[in-house]
Amino acid sequence: MVEKLNKRFFNEAKRYIAGGVNSPVRAFRAVGGEPIFIKSACGSKIYSEEGREFIDYCQSFGALILGHAHPKIREELKKAVDKGTSFAAPTKQETELARIIIKAIPSIERIRFTNSGTEAVMGVIRLARAYTQKNKIIKFIGSYHGHADYLLDCAGIPQDFKKHTLVAPYNEIKKVQSLIEQHKKDIAAIIVEPIAANMGVVLPQKGFLETLRELSDKHNIILIFDEVITAFRLLFGGAQDFFKIKPDLTCLGKIIGGGLPVGAFGGRREMMKLLAPEGNVYQAGTFSGNPLTVNAGLTTLKILSGNNPYLKLAKRTQAFCAQIKHTAAKYGIRVKINSVGSMFSIFFTDRDVTDYNTAKLEDAALFKKFYHGLLKEGVYLSPSGFEANFISTAHTVSDIEKTQDAIDKTLKNFPA
């Protein structure tokens, strides 16, 4: 009955919305079946249109470190709504949010808010090209930096848009060195997720980020950290504080909006002053710094600053992942789990996952079976093996125990 309802909802959506969804991963193509249509959410739980409850480890793909519908954020949003939903004019709250972010992340001396991570990346790359007066960028295979034309390889993008984008495997510094040697006079920037979170969670190997910093300094290249996911997730100061590496420019998103649409980019003062209206690098957005988003973000960062939940979240996630490994071993199932802080990914493979090529070696059929087994038990993971999962401050000991029971029941029925 549940499957029939989901199918009906999805078929109806496809009559009016392209593909039935407003972002491709929501369509469940990576896991099969029809997507779950969500009616409401609170804390660690989401509730579907057909009345089911799920423990949620997607958490809006990492935006909700405090869980869904946090009471303090709801309270502040209600106050903000009463004052107006959009001004397209400066507010004091924008400055306050900027001040908190700059204090938390020392590499950022000036910031510009946008409406999404994609917009932040578009702005930061334009700025890097203007600052260096060079054209090419280096990105890493399997990393996602939004859907700008020069960062994707899909239909509808002219080849001329792609020719200035050079790609290397994540964690392969020799390939980066080779690209720099071939194009060193025209490389404006290297953009990297300090922890890759769009091929599953993949950590940088020892020396990888450090060498990117050294190469950037040596060849007058702007090092950009895409911290849309990792900022305020691992530590209050983000992945750059976690790894003690300072990029030139940083992209932000997710958590700084408290669950509302947001993006931002920032860096050194002399670079940021090139942006209009001070400089001639144009970037704009009617809803940038939207008062609802800013108030939700401010509330979130103030709670995180006061509670400092990072060590507790990391320990809980580490214990959770260790128990999954133990359960898999009990049933003779090959599994690799990558985790850091409160982020984790589960791969059905016997090889260490260090880049996109090794991530692709996962047994996709087993992941689909695992995914739908957990759905039946009331556990919702991000609907792709190439997406990260997250534990929030709203997840309770009971949630974790119920999830472990669901994993045990699911893996028990797996082939060895």
Residues with a known catalytic role: 144, 226, 254
Give the integer Cα–Cα distance in Å for 390 and 312.
14
Give the integer Cα–Cα distance in Å for 407 and 400.
10
Q: What is the β-pairing status of strands 110-114 and 343-347?
A: unpaired
- Which residues share a beta bridge with 345? 338
Return all residues near 334 (Cβ < 8 A) that are at least 6 apart: 328, 348, 349, 350
- Owner of token pair 């001040």: 99
| Cis peptide upstream of residue 277 (ω within 30 degrees of 0) | yes
SS3 205: coil
CA proximity to 319, closest of 383, 255, 391, 265: 391
- Owner of token pair 């082939």: 415
The DSSP secondary-structure symbol of 85 reads S
Give the integer Cα–Cα distance in Å for 352 and 274.
43
Return all residues near 238 (Cβ < 8 A) that are at least 6 apart: 104, 105, 225, 227, 230, 231, 232, 250
How many residues are recorded in the chain?
416
